[in-house]
Every structure is written in C-alpha cells, then in structure tokens.
Amino acid sequence: MTRLPALVALAAGTALAGCSLAPTYVRPAAPVPTSWPAGDAYLRQSEARLPSVTYRDIFRDPRLQAIIDQALANNRDLRVAVANIEATRAQYRIQRADLFPQVSATGAYSYRDSGNSGVVTGTNSGGTTGTGTGAGGTGTGNGAVGTGTGGTGTGTGVTTVSSARSTFQAQLGVTAFEIDLFGRVRSLTSAALSRYFAQEAAARATRLTLVGDIANAWLTYAADRSLLTVAQQTAEAARASVKLTDARLRGGVAPRTDLRQAQQILATAEADLAQQTTLLAQDVNALQLLVGAPVDPALLPGSIEQAAATIGELPAGIDSGVLLRRPDVVQAEYALRAYNAEIGAARAELFPRISLTGLVGFASTALRTLFNSGSFNYSIAPNASYPIFRAGAGRAGVAYSVAQRDAALASYEQTIQTAFQEVSDALARRGTITEQLAANRRFYEAASDTLNLTNARYRGGIDTFLSSLDAQRQLYSAQQTLVQTQLTRATNLVTLYRTLGGDSLLEATPQGPVTATGGEADAAGVRAPAGAR
C-alpha cells in the first residue's frame, strides 16, 4: 500500500493530459472554379472522373519505362528526398516521446570510512615535566610517563576511533515529466507529424517531377534525332545541287550567283548538322544525370514520330478537385496543419506548466538485505511554474503562430491556384495542338510537292534556279517546324500528366494512417513511402 500514492499521482497526471488549445482544423475551400476552363482553346471535357493511372499507363514505350525504373533506383535527388523523410520521421518520434514519462534506472554502491581523534592529558608526580603518549578511550588517557625529579610531570595522549559503512541502492525514477494539461506537448507532436507527412508529399512531388523530366528528355532526344536526320538529308541534297550548279557554271549555262546560293543552303545544313550532333550528345548527358547512371543506347528513340506515338492520352476529369491530390498541394496543406497545431502550443505557454518527479527504490547497508520490505522508499515531487511577467512575450508568441498560419494558408491557396493555372494552360495547349500539327503536316506536304515541281520546271528551263532554292528552304523549314510541333504535342501530354498529379492520383492522401480530415498516427505505423524509393 505504500506504493499506491505514487501510482495514483502518475495515473492522474496522465489522465488529465490530452486537452488541446489548437484551433480546430477545417480544410479551406479551394480558391478555383470547380470545372476546367471552356472555350475555343479547350477540348470538350469528359464527364467521367479522372481514372487512377501510373506512369506506365501514359508512357507506354518499354524503353522509356526501363529508363524511368532505372532513375527511380539511382536518382540522387530522390535519395535526398527519402533521407529527408527519414529525418522528419525521426524528429516526429523525438517530439512524440515527450508525451510519455522518461523512466531511468540507477544502481549505486558507496563505501565511507571516517576516524575521530581525541587529545588526553595525564599528571605524574615527580621532579620535572615530561611528555608521553597514552592509549585509551575517547577523552581520557593513561598518564604519561615522565622523567625528572622535584616537580610534577604532565602527559598528553591522542585517541583515534575508526568507523566504516557500505551502502547499496537500486532506484527507478521519473524526472520532470510534464503533465500536458493544456496540450502544449501534444500540439507540438501534431505539428511534427504534419511536417513528416509534408516531407513525404515533397518526396512524391520530387518523384513526379523526375518522371516528367525523364519523359521530356527522352522526347527531346527523339526530336533532335529527327532534326539531325533532316539536316543530313538537306545537306546531301544541297551537295548534289552544288555539284550540279557548279557543272552548269563551268558549261556556261548557270551564273555564279546560282552556285553561291546553292552553297549557302549547303553551309546552313552543315552548320545545323554540327549543332544537332552536339545537342544529341547533351541530351544523353542530361538523361544520364536524371537517371544517375549510364543509359543504354538501345533504350534511346530513333525519331520523334516513333517516340510521340507511344505517349498515351490522359483524360482530365471535369472536377478540379483532383488538384487536391497533387503532391505539392498535399505538402502545402500539411504545412498549414503544422502551423495550426503550433498555435495550440503557443496558447498553452500562457498557462502554468506542471511537472512531476517521482522516485522509488531500495537502500540498504548490506547487499543481501537490499530488496527487503524495510529497505523500500519512494518520493514524489510535483512542481508548477508560471511566469508572472514576460513583457508580453507569451501573447506575442501566439500572435506569431497565428501569422505563420495565415501565411501558410495563403501559400496553400496560391499552390492550388498555380496548379489550376498549369492544368488550364496544358489543356489549352492540348485543345489546339492537334489542329496545329495537322496544319504543319499539310504545309510540309505542300512544301515537298512544291520542291519537286520547281525542280522539274527548273530542269525544263521554265523557272530559275532561285525558285528551286526558295523551295528547298521552305521544305527545310517545314520539316523543322513539323518536328518541333510533334515534340510540343508529346511534351504537352507529359505536362498534363505532371500537372494533374501523375501517380498521386492513385491515392488521395499521403502514406500512413492519416486521413485528409486530420488525425494522428501511432509511431509504429509511420513509415517512409515505398513509392518514393
């Protein structure tokens, strides 16, 4: 029964904890329309909701999928993101530990040896004074032995008493455990948990950006490969034209201006050929940096026509609420939750802080009797502290937390608005790119036919060589424009995949037992997202 008061006090303190002064979190309304923009620049949207997709559903070429898989395993930015998740997870666990008392066990042994010394005097009859040493009890001494005659001899004695003692102790103690009556520690724990989930969302945003960047780099390589082919074909045609014109000049049929104009087209094509060769090498370097390892040349596309055909369509559902699942929006919302929880911690600072120190243990002078009932002892030391005067620092702390929450709210809303703008831009581009691509294809076909007709008329002596050169320039420009438009269409699909959240569409909330409306997870259930690895 002697242990009951300590247990009752500890249980009562724990039961009283749990109150929170943090404002109740309510998800802010999205500051964007509920549907995507409509008009001439946009496609008619499907009434169906956006389906769950993965990058394999959009990027269907096995070569691109292999490069993405390699990047997910080797990219350094992704490794940094995962390490940051582990760091914030550890910080959450450190903060969460303050909700529980820290119990420490100690064992001690001490040995003490002390001695007492006493001075005694004795008197001896005799003739002279002598000095002697006596032994005996405390305060008395045997008479000193003196030598001499005719006087009285006095002797002084010193007595030493020795005492030694051993002490054995075994204790369990709780030191300064804060009884969280006003929810300060719990609010800080909730803030740490929200920051952990925000970091996890940041890692998924990094992953989404990485997948999109790799797809764009792969498509850019394909476009540069096509442009290189166009430059090679134009250079070959220009060399044949220069050769023919030079022969006609030597034969006195063509003027020197025809030769110089043909040489200009050849020089332009050769310069573009050198530039495209450089760009291809740089495209490979960019891919290798994103992947974090060498890229197998067999995984690279041969042309933009071939690569663009493997990028799948992604329907953009009518409801803009899908933006709430974008990783950057989720990250901004959890940052808002963290600042909201910190308001509760700042408010709790205005109230007294109560802590409890408890100690139970055994103490004995002999090891064999250490755990006897008579050796048990305990102590309880509650403590309350309340700052009487802080010159307004406590209320300023609350105001600071509220201001941070308001700034986080504005950032959250701006993140949603930015996401809406990015998706709207992508939809606008998607709504018109098909017509633009078709027009550029018709222009290319017309330019190609014009060149054939002009060359025939030139050989028949009907048109001048200048008309043939102009037709060559028009065809070269049309081929380049067609390649760039094909690249724009393919990268637009990648942009739409990224701006709508990509793989995050598979789940509406971050990993871990936390719902979109709040709640906390047990430490054992908090883990880093497997998808970010």
> Which 8-state DSSP code applies to residue 325?
G
**Coil vs helix vs strand at 198:** helix
> Which 8-state DSSP code applies to residue 503?
G
Phi and psi at residue 101, to the nearest 5°: -70, 145
Residues 117 and 82: their CA atoms lie apart, in Å, by: 71
In the predicted structure, residue 37 carries a pLDDT above the cut 90: no
- As a CATH number, domain 27-101+180-353+392-532 is 1.20.1600.10
Give the confidence band of 362 by pLDDT, cuts at 50, 70, 90.
confident
Which class for 37: exposed (0-12), middle (13-18), buried (19 or more C-beta within 10 A)? middle
- Strands 152-179 and 376-385, by their bridges, are unpaired
Per-residue pLDDT reduced to its tens digit, 249-296:
888 877 888 888 889 889 999 999 999 999 999 999 999 999 999 999
Predicted TM-score (pTM) of the model is 0.75
| Buried-state track 422-434, b at ≥16 Cβ within 10 A, e below 16 | bbbbbbbbbbebe
Per-residue pLDDT reduced to its tens digit, 510-520:
333 333 333 33
The pLDDT of residue 61 is 95
Contacts with 178 (C-beta within 8 Å, 6 or more apart), sequence order: 98, 184, 185, 353, 354, 355
Lowest mean pLDDT among 27-41, 206-220, 497-511, 512-526: 512-526
Per-residue pLDDT reduced to its tens digit, 460-511:
778 777 888 889 899 999 999 999 999 999 999 999 899 888 775 444 343 3
The pLDDT of residue 137 is 41
Give the confidence band of 385 by pLDDT, cuts at 50, 70, 90.
confident
In the predicted structure, residue 17 carries a pLDDT above the cut 80: no
Sequential DSSP letters for 119-134? EEEEEEESSS------
Task: Label residue 488 left, alpha or beta by phi (over 0 means left) and psi (-120 to 50 means alpha).
Answer: alpha
The pLDDT of residue 74 is 94
Please state, as a whole number, how many other Cβ atoms lie within 10 Å of the Cβ of residue 200: 29
Per-residue pLDDT reduced to its tens digit, 136-175:
444 444 444 444 444 444 555 545 555 667 787 777 787 7
